[in-house]
């Protein structure tokens, strides 16, 4: 039987009172209570008062129930009969629960019942908590199985309930959690922990809402990933971790080196100027999310760049929320069109227990050799490296205070020869939660990360780079036979000695120190009003040092030099402050509920990059003070964005919700002619499963239909709206030049998203699926309009001239075919389609975002094509196999997949669990420069017809670039793991011991001969520029790791 919330509340109160009074002793049945009463034309209220004055019974009802009821007339001899007469005349239902009589209004004639009598002498009490956090669950339903008897938990999660002696089972349920049944037997006190249900709606989410709100009430999906889903995946990076976990986003690491950038795309590519990386928050504080090279250092345009995402701390995460743009991100305003990923760190549980976990993870990292052309490249460039990681986690607290600590040490020798990819990371984080008096809650987190890694030369770095030397065949330039697999052992030993020495002589090191803190206060002055202030900083210092010795140059060029040694240092110093103030007020009026939210947000960040270079320096020097020539350069950018927002969420009968909101943003980066930018949203969420006509459908657990319209933006970089002059030195004097042309009309690009979707959970929540259709159009898209040669400017000016459209389906399915007390088997699968097109370029010439020169290969933005399509020479061969003609600047394929998603399985049997995650894509293409170079350097003949090689040798190598383009469909298994958990009940020390084994990146199935994900993402446009990958050139694949884990949880 289903009860409305109002009825449950009333009954709960009745039960509480019954419980209280019941403690005095057994109540009488109202039909056994002699109570002679003669009433003529009196109000019901009067009658109730008289009964209460003469008996121990108490009536409970909502005032509106008696409103408008007729006066009653009767003459009866028992209280039960009197109630029956009133019930008949005034059309009311009465339910006696011991000494309490609940009065309700029947919804229909069918619902009209005679007086119910419930006399219980068993008084139960207990508490319902979140199994994961130990937090009390407020409003959880506790019912006696098979009856309508029940109550709901109070603000502390407590309940009390009087039940008949023969009551056997309690059913405890809470929205968003798995329902649990508890045997009553002789127990009177119950502490029940409910497990969260991952396939069910109704969770409280924060991201994109200003303050916490039940997901039912909002019109978009919020992906939530919890700590337990993360803890078994041995990843060192948040993006790598999420790559198989977010069903509707595609995340690819673009290289196997530590700190490599990633391509993160949700809902396609909505910008041709800005990287598609979402913005990241930790506990409400915005993070540095630079996922391309920096302006200075950080890898040059075509070199593997360094990502700030790589060192976002990972080991103290409570949960992660992800929203993928559109209306969901409207409240983030001018720079959230790519979506928002928010990390919530642990702040301790409420169970008064201190949870201590120690974990050791060790193993071997080996190279992923699946995509190497020459088998012997492995011997030339790679090694097996030792991997170790130690983690200590402490989590504890009570209702009023919580704390957590996490410390980690990670050391990985890496799989590239001479430890050229070694990585060491140390991080500490703490989280606190405290109740400061009755009305104020305080939360804080502090995180420190030190990440240190080596890099060998890779990509288009010029000179010797290992992969270019071995796989592209450029070893021929220094006199080697480049067909590695055809060499004699002696020949191979020679080239190996050369390559090993070249690798050993490289000395490139990156060191990152990062400190993040978030502080927040929540003030609840009155019921239903919550004011929250959040402030925090992210400070990240990246130092990058590249030492090129004369010995290295002499060895790799085979030309003795002694005055070309150099040290290049680049420091990137990022400091970001976030301040946010939010107020949320909840109020109710009849069937309507309202949640009003208003707030303001400010973020300001400063990105300072300093390069200092010493050239002509003696080998052995580590600092540039010993250099004959010293140069330096500096880059500074400051961003300030502030906005205010209001949001109104209106609920009707807790099943239809209207979500309205708007944010206004200002930013000094906007042109002089541009004022406040507004981002409105409107959405509807309808819980159809709460309709009476669906309540009888047993197999349906929930059904929600939703739709929304919303705007989100991408900010232009700071100061590009201003016309500037730049200076440099020329022959010892100050030289002035045109710099930025300026644009008084510069404004953020705005992505308008229309979305509709349906979320269904069924078969006891064992099957759930979610389908969304979106259409996102970026108007006033910012294009880097290439400088017109006759204007004298050599910098592209950002202008709001383009229009980009992304549309597609997002489907995710979770199925649990096996669910028993002992075991469960769960599958998840997601399917996303993408149709991306530059609808208008506003007359702008096609421009390159991530490729090389027009005669080689470019990824280009052009009207009528997908963003970042491959453009180059399209060659045609005659029937005889000889090259005939070439068409430059031809479309050679899109770099964006039209289908992608993730899949995973999790199997638990008793203490054993097995899990695997995979990603896939279809429909994208990429270019292999390695292949093209192999052809040029005569290391391979496997692509181009023999007749052409015979006729023209390699001279046409750039005339048929299309021949080196391949389809990049793939299925990649990201990890496979097994765990066995021992619970030594007899031990006074150990609570749980988990032993696990993982293989990371175990299997790759790809249609291309090269790694479809190991594509350059340097973004030729510069810092933060758009990139779609698509060019495979001397980039290492993400390595394979074989790891074992021992995790001990102490009592």
Partner 1 sequence: MKLRNILPVFSLMIFGACVENPNVTEEIFLDTPGPSKSWVTGLRGQLASTMSTILINTEMISDNYFNNSTLYSKVFDAPVVDFTDLDVNILQREVGRLREMADYGLETVAPADPSIEAEDLAYMHFCRGFALLLAGENFTGLPIDALGEVVGWQTLLETAIEEFDLAIAESSDAEAIDAYQLLKARTYYKLGDLANTRNLANTLVGDTSLLFMAGFDGENGFGNQLQGALFPIGPNQSFEPLPRLDFLDPKYFNRGTAATDQRPVALAKAEEAYLIMMEVLLAENNLDDAQAMGVALLDVVEGRSTELLDDSGETRIGPNRSGYPTTAVRIREDENSTFKEGYVLDRRTDEITTFTVSGTRVTRDEINATTTVDELLYLVYRLRQEVFISEGRRSSDLGIRFPVSETEQLNNPNVGDAFIQPVLPMFIPLNGGMDAFTVDEAGDVTMLFDMNKVIVDNKTSEDIVPFM
What part of residues 793-812 is at the interface with partner 1 (CB under 8 A)? 793-794
Q: Burial, 980: exposed, middle or buried (Cβ in 10 Å; 0-12, 13-18, 19+)?
A: middle
Whole-number Å distance between alpha carbons of 1020 and 665: 29
Q: Which stretch binds partner 1 (CB under 8 A): 225-233, 390-398, 837-845, 914-922?
A: 837-845
DSSP at 7: H
Q: How far is the CB of 728 from partner 1 (least distance, A)?
A: 5
- Tell me which residue of 339, 326, 321, 201 sits closest to 659, measured CA to CA: 326
Instruction: Using the minimum distance from each CB to partner 1, give the nearer residue, 268 or 872.
Output: 872
Q: How far is the CB of 535 from partner 1 (least distance, A)?
A: 9
Q: How far is the CB of 561 from partner 1 (least distance, A)?
A: 6
User: Cβ–Cβ contacts within 10 Å for residue 28, how many?
Assistant: 18
- Tell me which residue of 929, 933, 951 sits closest to 884, measured CA to CA: 951
Among 386, 587, 652, 730, indicate the residue that binds partner 1 (CB under 8 A).
730
Q: Burial, 214: exposed, middle or buried (Cβ in 10 Å; 0-12, 13-18, 19+)?
A: buried
Dihedral sign for Cα 223, 228, 233, 236, please.
positive
Tell me if 91 sits within 8 A of 112, measured CB to CB.
Answer: yes
Among positions 863-922, residues that touch partner 1 (CB under 8 A) are 888-889
Number of residues in contact with partner 1 under rule CB under 8 A: 79
- Chain centroid, CA 409 distance in Å: 24
Among 462, 620, 817, 864, indicate the residue that binds partner 1 (CB under 8 A).
462
- Torsion angle of alpha carbons 1004, 263, 221, 703, nearest 10°? -20
733 binds partner 1 (CB under 8 A): yes
Among positions 994-1023, residues that touch partner 1 (CB under 8 A) are none
Among 446, 448, 738, 891, indicate the residue that binds partner 1 (CB under 8 A).
738
| Angle subtended by helix axes 79-90 and 44-54, to nearest 10 | 170
Among positions 937-956, residues that touch partner 1 (CB under 8 A) are 937, 955
- Contacts of residue 176, defined as CB under 8 A and 6 or more positions apart, other chains included, come to 196, 197, 200, 201, 202, 203, 204
Whole-number Å distance between alpha carbons of 108 and 113: 10
- The CA angle 915-916-917, to the nearest 5 degrees, is 135
790 binds partner 1 (CB under 8 A): yes
Among 579, 646, 682, 684, indicate the residue that binds partner 1 (CB under 8 A).
579
Q: Which stretch binds partner 1 (CB under 8 A): 267-275, 537-545, 734-742, 775-783?
A: 734-742
Among positions 658-677, residues that touch partner 1 (CB under 8 A) are 668
Q: How far is the CB of 792 from partner 1 (least distance, A)?
A: 3
DSSP at 577: E
Instruction: Using the minimum distance from each CB to partner 1, give the nearer residue, 620 or 888.
Output: 888
Is 246 in a helix, a strand, or coil?
coil
Among positions 740-759, residues that touch partner 1 (CB under 8 A) are 740, 742
Six-digit token string for 871? 């453009």
Q: How far is the CB of 615 from partner 1 (least distance, A)?
A: 6
HSE value, Cβ hemisphere, 13 Å, CA-based, for 9: 8
Among positions 678-717, residues that touch partner 1 (CB under 8 A) are none
Q: How far is the CB of 631 from partner 1 (least distance, A)?
A: 6
Among positions 161-220, residues that touch partner 1 (CB under 8 A) are none
Helices (H), 55-156: 63-66, 79-90
Among 43, 840, 856, 911, indicate the residue that binds partner 1 (CB under 8 A).
856
Q: How far is the CB of 568 from partner 1 (least distance, A)?
A: 13
Q: How far is the CB of 523 from partner 1 (least distance, A)?
A: 8
DSSP at 243: T
Instruction: Using the minimum distance from each CB to partner 1, give the nearer residue, 48 or 469.
Output: 469
Q: Which stretch binds partner 1 (CB under 8 A): 327-335, 732-740, 768-776, 963-971?
A: 732-740
Instruction: Using the minimum distance from each CB to partner 1, give the nearer residue, 260 or 495.
Output: 495
Phi, psi of 121, deg, nearest 5: -120, 5
Q: How far is the CB of 563 from partner 1 (least distance, A)?
A: 5
Paired residues of 540 in beta bridges: 514, 574
Instruction: Using the minimum distance from each CB to partner 1, give the nearer residue, 147 or 788.
Output: 788
Q: How far is the CB of 895 from partner 1 (least distance, A)?
A: 19
Among 616, 779, 840, 1044, indicate the residue that binds partner 1 (CB under 8 A).
616
- Chain centroid, CA 610 distance in Å: 32
Among 848, 859, 1032, 1037, indicate the residue that binds partner 1 (CB under 8 A).
848
Q: Which stretch binds partner 1 (CB under 8 A): 50-58, 654-662, 729-737, 990-998?
A: 729-737
Q: How far is the CB of 888 from partner 1 (least distance, A)?
A: 6
Whole-number Å distance between alpha carbons of 180 and 765: 13
Whole-number Å distance between alpha carbons of 952 and 962: 18
Q: Which stretch binds partner 1 (CB under 8 A): 111-119, 175-183, 232-240, 787-795?
A: 787-795
Among positions 467-526, residues that touch partner 1 (CB under 8 A) are 474, 476-478
Among 4, 625, 673, 726, indicate the residue that binds partner 1 (CB under 8 A).
726
Among 139, 463, 923, 1022, indicate the residue that binds partner 1 (CB under 8 A).
463
Q: How far is the CB of 196 from partner 1 (least distance, A)?
A: 35
Whole-number Å distance between alpha carbons of 758 and 221: 10
Q: Which stretch binds partner 1 (CB under 8 A): 4-12, 491-499, 759-767, 782-790?
A: 782-790
Among positions 329-388, residues that touch partner 1 (CB under 8 A) are none
Q: How far is the CB of 638 from partner 1 (least distance, A)?
A: 4
Q: What is each CA distance from 810 to 761, 772, 838, 915, in whole angstroms?
A: 16, 5, 21, 24
- The site map against partner 1 for 550-569 (x = CB under 8 A) is ---x--xxxx-x-xx-----
- Which run of H or E residues covers position 935? helix 929-936
Instruction: Using the minimum distance from each CB to partner 1, give the nearer residue, 378 or 564.
Output: 564
Among 623, 736, 982, 1046, indicate the residue that binds partner 1 (CB under 8 A).
736
Instruction: Using the minimum distance from each CB to partner 1, give the nearer residue, 888 or 984.
Output: 888
- The site map against partner 1 for 591-610 (x = CB under 8 A) is ---------x-x-x------
Instruction: Using the minimum distance from each CB to partner 1, give the nearer residue, 230 or 939.
Output: 939
Among 146, 843, 864, 910, indicate the residue that binds partner 1 (CB under 8 A).
843
User: Cβ–Cβ contacts within 10 Å for residue 185, how many?
Assistant: 8
Instruction: Using the minimum distance from each CB to partner 1, give the nearer residue, 640 or 978.
Output: 640
Q: How far is the CB of 742 from partner 1 (least distance, A)?
A: 8
SS3 sequence, 277-330? CCEEEECCEECCCCCCCCCCCCCCCCCCCECCHHHCCCCCEEEEEEECCHHHHH
- Contacts of residue 1030, defined as CB under 8 A and 6 or more positions apart, other chains included, come to 850, 851, 859, 868, 870, 895, 924, 925, 926, 927, 1015
User: Cβ–Cβ contacts within 10 Å for residue 397, how many?
Assistant: 24
Instruction: Using the minimum distance from each CB to partner 1, give the nearer residue, 761 or 958.
Output: 958
Q: b/e for 340-371, b at 16 or more Cβ within 10 A?
A: bbbbbbbbbbbbeeebbbebebebbbbbbbbb
Among positions 625-654, residues that touch partner 1 (CB under 8 A) are 628-629, 631, 636-640, 642
Q: How far is the CB of 296 from partner 1 (least distance, A)?
A: 13
Among positions 951-990, residues that touch partner 1 (CB under 8 A) are 955, 958
Among positions 912-941, residues that touch partner 1 (CB under 8 A) are 933, 936-937
């Amino acid at each position: 039987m289903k009860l409305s919330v109002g009825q449950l509340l009333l009954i709960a109160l009745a039960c509480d009172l019954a419980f209280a009074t019941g403690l005095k002793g057994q109540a009488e049945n109202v039909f056994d209570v002699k109570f002679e009463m003669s009433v003529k034309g009196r109000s019901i209220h009067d009658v109730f008062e008289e009964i209460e004055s003469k008996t121990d019974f108490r009536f409970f009802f909502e005032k509106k129930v008696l409103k408008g009821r007729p006066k009653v007339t009767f003459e009866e001899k028992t209280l039960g009969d009197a109630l029956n007469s009133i019930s008949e005349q005034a059309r009311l239902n009465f339910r006696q629960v011991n000494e309490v009589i609940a009065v309700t209004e029947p919804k229909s004639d069918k619902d009209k019942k005679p007086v119910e009598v419930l006399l219980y002498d068993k008084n139960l009490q207990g508490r319902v908590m979140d199994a994961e956090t130990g937090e009390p669950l407020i409003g959880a339903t506790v019912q006696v199985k098979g009856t309508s008897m029940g109550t709901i938990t109070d603000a502390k999660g407590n309940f009390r309930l009087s039940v008949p002696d023969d009551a056997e089972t309690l059913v405890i349920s809470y929205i968003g959690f798995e329902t649990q049944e508890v045997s009553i037997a002789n127990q009177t006190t119950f502490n029940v922990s409910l497990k969260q249900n991952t396939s069910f709606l109704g969770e409280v989410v924060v991201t994109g809402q200003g303050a916490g709100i039940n997901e039912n009430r909002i019109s978009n999906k919020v992906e939530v990933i919890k700590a337990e889903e993360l803890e078994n995946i041995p990843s060192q990076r948040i993006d790598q971790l999420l790559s198989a976990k977010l069903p509707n986003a595609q995340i690819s690491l673009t290289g196997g080196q530590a700190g490599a950038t990633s391509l993160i795309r949700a809902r396609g590519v909505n910008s041709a100027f800005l990287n598609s990386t979402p913005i990241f928050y930790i506990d409400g504080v915005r993070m540095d999310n630079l996922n391309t090279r920096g302006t200075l250092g950080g890898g040059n345009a075509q070199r593997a760049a360094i990502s700030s995402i790589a060192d976002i701390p990972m080991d103290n995460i409570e949960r992660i929320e992800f929203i993928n743009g559109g209306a969901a991100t409207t409240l983030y305003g001018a720079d959230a069109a790519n979506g928002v990923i928010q990390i919530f760190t642990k702040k301790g549980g409420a169970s008064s227990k201190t949870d201590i976990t120690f974990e050791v993870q060790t193993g071997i990292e080996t190279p992923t050799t699946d995509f190497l052309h020459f088998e012997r490249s492995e011997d030339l460039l790679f090694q097996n490296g030792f991997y170790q990681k130690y983690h200590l986690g402490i989590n504890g607290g009570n209702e009023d205070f919580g704390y957590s600590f996490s410390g980690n040490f990670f050391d990985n020798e890496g799989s590239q020869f001479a430890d050229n990819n070694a990585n060491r990371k140390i991080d500490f984080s703490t989280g606190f939660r405290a109740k400061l008096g009755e009305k104020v809650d305080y939360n804080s987190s502090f995180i420190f990360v030190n990440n240190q890694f080596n890099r060998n030369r890779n990509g288009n770095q010029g000179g010797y780079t290992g992969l270019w030397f071995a796989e592209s065949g450029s070893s021929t330039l220094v006199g080697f036979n480049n067909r590695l697999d055809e060499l004699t052992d002696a020949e191979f030993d020679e080239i190996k000695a050369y390559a090993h020495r070249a690798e050993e002589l490289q000395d490139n090191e990156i060191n990152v120190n990062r400190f993040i803190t978030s502080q927040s206060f929540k003030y609840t002055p009155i019921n239903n009003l919550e004011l929250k202030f959040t402030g925090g900083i992210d400070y990240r210092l990246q130092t990058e040092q590249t030492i090129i010795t004369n010995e290295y140059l002499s060895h790799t060029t085979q030309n003795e030099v002694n005055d070309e040694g150099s040290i290049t240092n680049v420091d990137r110093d990022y400091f970001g402050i976030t301040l946010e103030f939010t107020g949320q007020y909840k109020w109710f009026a009849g069937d309507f509920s309202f949640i009003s939210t208003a707030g303001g947000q400010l973020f300001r960040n400063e990105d300072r990059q300093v390069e200092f270079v010493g050239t002509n320096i003696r080998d052995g020097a580590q600092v540039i003070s010993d250099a004959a020539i010293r140069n330096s350069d500096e880059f500074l950018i400051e961003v300030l964005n502030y906005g205010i927002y209001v949001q109104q969420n209106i609920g009707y009968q807790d099943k239809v919700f209207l979500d309205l909101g708007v944010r206004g943003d200002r930013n000094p980066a906007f042109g002089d002619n541009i004022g406040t930018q507004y981002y409105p949203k409107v959405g509807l969420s309808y819980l159809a499963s709460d309709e009476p006509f669906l309540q009888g459908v047993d197999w349906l657990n929930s059904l929600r239909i939703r739709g929304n319209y919303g705007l989100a933006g991408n900010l232009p970089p700071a100061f590009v709206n201003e016309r500037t002059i730049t200076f440099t030195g020329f022959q010892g004097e100050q030289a002035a030049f045109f710099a930025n042309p300026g644009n008084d009309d510069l404004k953020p690009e705005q992505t308008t998203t229309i979305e509709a979707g349906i979320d269904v959970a069924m078969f006891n929540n064992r099957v759930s699926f979610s389908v969304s259709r979106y259409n996102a159009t970026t108007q006033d898209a910012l294009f880097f309009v290439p400088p017109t040669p006759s204007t004298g400017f050599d910098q592209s000016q950002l202008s709001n001239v383009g229009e980009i459209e992304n549309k597609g389906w997002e489907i995710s399915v979770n199925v649990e075919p096996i669910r028993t007390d002992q075991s469960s088997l769960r599958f998840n699968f997601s399917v996303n389609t993408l149709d991306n097109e530059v609808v208008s370029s506003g007359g702008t010439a096609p421009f390159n975002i991530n490729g090389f020169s027009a005669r080689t290969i470019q990824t280009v933005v052009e009207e009528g094509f997908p963003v970042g399509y491959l453009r180059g020479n399209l060659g045609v061969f005659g029937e005889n196999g000889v090259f005939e003609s070439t068409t430059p600047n031809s479309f050679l394929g899109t770099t964006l997949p039209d289908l992608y998603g993730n899949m995973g399985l999790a199997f638990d049997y008793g203490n054993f669990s097995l899990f695997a995650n995979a990603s896939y894509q279809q429909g994208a293409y990429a270019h292999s420069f390695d292949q093209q170079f192999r052809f040029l350097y005569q290391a391979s003949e496997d692509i181009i017809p023999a007749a052409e090689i015979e006729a023209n040798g390699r001279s046409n190598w750039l005339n048929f670039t299309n021949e080196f383009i391949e389809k990049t469909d793939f299925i990649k298994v990201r990890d496979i793991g097994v765990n066995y958990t021992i619970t030594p009940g007899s031990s006074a020390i150990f609570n749980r011991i988990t032993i696990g084994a993982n293989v990371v990146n175990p299997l790759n199935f790809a249609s291309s001969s090269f790694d479809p994900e190991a594509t350059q993402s340097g973004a030729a446009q510069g810092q933060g520029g758009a990139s779609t990958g698509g060019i495979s050139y001397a980039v290492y694949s993400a390595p394979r790791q074989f790891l074992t884990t021992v995790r001990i949880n102490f009592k």
